[in-house]
Amino acid sequence: EKHGLQLQVKPVLTLANRYAGLPVFQPKVPYPGVWWTVREQKWHAQCLVGGARRNFMVKPKDHSEAELERSFTVAVAWKKKQEKEKKRKALQILASSHGSPDHSRLAGFTEDNLRLPMFS
């Protein structure tokens, strides 16, 4: 107290302590493109399909191990579905670029064995 004024110090949230009380989870078996967001307390999955970035978030009902595992599995299933669609779109692009109705050059390509660097 100085000259009748009382000094009050208020704690200021910094990046270091803003989310300090929130739990952080790591999956038992990580999956590329799926991660835990501390801020939202959700699993976040992301995929690039046909030049568009797609996002999916799933929030567990509680922080029990079973619910965290279930919600992580939902996020991974969504990501796998997007990856399958990405391969299908890549095949469509290849087929349309060749123009021939029999697509003989694509005979060996399937959704399962298509591995193109430009679509990874």
Instruction: Give the pLDDT confidence of 53-76 residue by residue, as tens digits.
Output: 999 999 999 999 999 999 999 999
Choice between 93 and 74, residue whose per-residue pLDDT is larger: 74
Residues in the chain: 120
What residues have CB less than 8 Å from 27, skipping those under 6 apart?
Answer: 34, 36, 72
* CA proximity to 43, closest of 30, 56, 53: 56
Instruction: Output DSSP code: residue 68.
Output: H
Confidence tier at 35 by pLDDT (50, 70, 90):
very high
- pLDDT at residue 15 greater than cutoff 80: no
**Dist CA 118 CA 120 (whole Å):** 6
91-to-39, 54, 66, 109, 116 alpha-carbon distances in Å? 38, 19, 38, 8, 10
| More confident site: 6 or 81 | 81
Model confidence at 118, in pLDDT bands (50, 70, 90)?
very low
Stretch 7-25: mean pLDDT? 66
What local confidence, expressed as pLDDT, does residue 50 receive? 85
